């Protein structure tokens, strides 16, 4: 995988492969170049040649490279895997949660390979928003940095807002996976109010609570009740900032249909648990989104040939995504021990 960092998408109004002006990070070093203007050394030429080859490969998929790297501001970088197949429509999943609750482990589980760095100390291992694509499937994962302070919580909310405010429908989020450790006495902290409020503002966003470190014998009803108590306490602490308390709570309320209890690691007294249910739930929800989109489109007026083709492509890709997730639900989960760069 090649990681390219493009700090400013405005440098790319429309890609012209014969004239490139940009900067990129390769091997943790930044290289700024302007073709046909700067004299360069042989070493620099090799580096720039590598960048150009990567960009030219990308041009075969996209005309506007800037859009691909438009997540966040110039210091909020997304890693883009050029080896994956590109799709015009994808199922978009965002993982959020506090430090050390199993967020990156959940990302790796979804990917089926260990790419997201996992924390062992409770400190954040995700410094900036990261992007991943599941296998060669039309499914994207966004990993928002974990938070445990006011500053990191504000940063996480800011990044989620940028994803939620994406105008291009093909890039809009479909799912939020809120990662919570089931063994924590306190399910939520007061820092999470803005995050909760941001989630409730989105009409079509589906929320799943992922309860990590769960066991087969865990009292699920008790955990669900504790989640709701935690949410209510936070909302009550900030009630003046909420227009309608009951309506806001209902949008974020936990129940047995949106809580998935999992354990990602094989332990002596706690085996791997709930992974199949996670994929089955995601597959069912993706299929539900597809059916709803088909119903809405059926009753739309002023259909054009282009809109017909776009919608048919979207329906096919959503069906492909749900089929893949259902297939993962039937497969035994095998944790990956080695990271893939």
Q: What is the pLDDT of residues 44-70, one digit of tens each?
A: 555 555 555 555 444 434 433 333 333
C-alpha angle 193-198-199 in degrees, rounded to nearest 5: 100
112 and 211 in a single domain? The answer is yes
Is residue 186 a contact partner of residue 177, using CB atoms and an 8 Å limit? no
121 and 215 in a single domain? The answer is yes
Separation of alpha carbons 76 and 312, rounded Å:
34
Residue spans of beta strands (DSSP E) within the chain: 21-26, 29-34, 91-97, 130-133, 139-143, 175-181, 206-212, 259-261
Separation of alpha carbons 261 and 100, rounded Å:
17
64 and 95 in a single domain? The answer is no
Task: Tell me, yes or no, whether 287 lies in a domain.
Answer: no
Task: Tell me, yes or no, whether 320 lies in a domain.
Answer: no
115 and 148 in a single domain? The answer is yes
Task: Tell me, yes or no, whether 325 lies in a domain.
Answer: no
Q: What is the mean pLDDT of residues 109-126?
A: 71
Separation of alpha carbons 62 and 112, rounded Å:
27
120 and 254 in a single domain? The answer is yes
Structural domain ending residue among the three candidates 281, 297, 330: 281
131 and 183 in a single domain? The answer is yes
Phi, psi at residue 321, to the nearest 5°? -65, -45
39 and 140 in a single domain? The answer is no
pLDDT band at residue 119, thresholds of 50, 70 and 90? low
Bridge partners (DSSP) of residue 181 are: 212
Structural domain ending residue among the three candidates 281, 296, 331: 281
128 and 200 in a single domain? The answer is yes
Tokens 């791997």: give the residue.
272
- The DSSP result for 165-223, as a single string, is T--SGGGS--EEEEEEETT-SSS--GGGHHHHHHHHT-SS-EEEEEEES--TT--HHHH
For the whole model, what pTM was predicted? Answer: 0.73
63 and 126 in a single domain? The answer is no
Domain residues for the domain of 26 are 9-68
The DSSP output letter for 91 is E
Closest CA to 50 of 89, 114, 4: 4
Task: Tell me, yes or no, whether 182 lies in a domain.
Answer: yes
CA dihedral 191, 193, 196, 200 (to 10 degrees): -160
Whichever domain contains 201, its CATH number is 3.40.50.300
Q: Above 60 in pLDDT, residue 155?
A: yes
17 and 128 in a single domain? The answer is no
Q: What is the mean pLDDT of the chain?
A: 75
206 and 126 in a single domain? The answer is yes
Task: Tell me, yes or no, whether 44 lies in a domain.
Answer: yes
Structure confidence by residue, pLDDT tens digits, 171-228: 789 999 999 999 998 888 888 999 999 999 887 889 999 999 999 999 999 999 999 9
Confidence at residue 267, expressed as pLDDT on a 0 to 100 scale: 77
164 and 106 in a single domain? The answer is yes
Q: What is the mean pLDDT of residues 116-135?
A: 69
Determine what percent of the chain is predicted with pLDDT higher than 70: 67
Task: Tell me, yes or no, whether 339 lies in a domain.
Answer: no
Separation of alpha carbons 112 and 275, rounded Å:
11
Q: What is the mean pLDDT of residues 64-88?
A: 45
Structural domain ending residue among the three candidates 231, 256, 281: 281
Task: Tell me, yes or no, whether 317 lies in a domain.
Answer: no
């Amino acid at each position: 995988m090649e990681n390219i960092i493009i700090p400013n998408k405005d440098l790319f109004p429309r890609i012209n492969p014969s004239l490139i002006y940009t900067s990129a990070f390769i091997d943790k070093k930044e290289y700024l170049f302007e073709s046909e203007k700067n004299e360069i050394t042989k070493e620099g030429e090799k580096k720039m040649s590598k960048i150009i080859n990567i960009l030219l490969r990308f041009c075969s998929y996209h005309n506007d490279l800037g859009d691909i790297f438009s997540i966040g501001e110039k210091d909020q970088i997304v890693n883009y895997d050029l080896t994956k197949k590109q799709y015009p429509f994808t199922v978009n999943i965002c993982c959020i949660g506090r430090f050390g609750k199993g967020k990156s482990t959940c990302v790796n589980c979804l990917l089926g390979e260990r790419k997201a760095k996992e924390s062992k100390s409770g400190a954040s291992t995700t410094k900036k928003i990261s992007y991943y694509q599941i296998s060669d499937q039309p499914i994207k994962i966004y990993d928002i940095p974990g938070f445990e302070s006011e500053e990191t919580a504000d940063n996480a909310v800011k990044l989620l807002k940028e994803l939620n405010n994406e105008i291009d429908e093909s890039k809009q989020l479909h799912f939020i996976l809120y990662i919570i450790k089931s063994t924590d006495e306190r399910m939520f902290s007061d820092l999470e109010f803005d995050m909760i409020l941001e989630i409730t503002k989105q009409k079509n966003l589906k929320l799943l609570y992922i309860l990590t470190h769960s066991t087969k014998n865990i009292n699920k009803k008790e955990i669900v009740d504790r989640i709701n108590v935690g949410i209510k306490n936070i909302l009550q602490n900030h009630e003046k900032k909420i227009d309608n308390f009951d309506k806001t709570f209902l949008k974020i309320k936990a129940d047995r249909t949106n809580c998935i209890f999992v354990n990602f690691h094989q332990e002596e007294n706690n085996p791997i648990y709930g992974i199949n249910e996670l994929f089955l739930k995601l597959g069912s929800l993706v299929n539900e989104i597809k059916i709803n989109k088909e119903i809405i489109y059926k009753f739309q007026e002023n259909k054009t040939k282009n809109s017909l083709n776009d919608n048919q492509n979207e329906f096919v890709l959503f069906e492909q995504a749900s089929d893949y997730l259902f297939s993962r639900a039937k497969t035994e989960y095998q944790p990956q021990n080695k990271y893939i760069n």
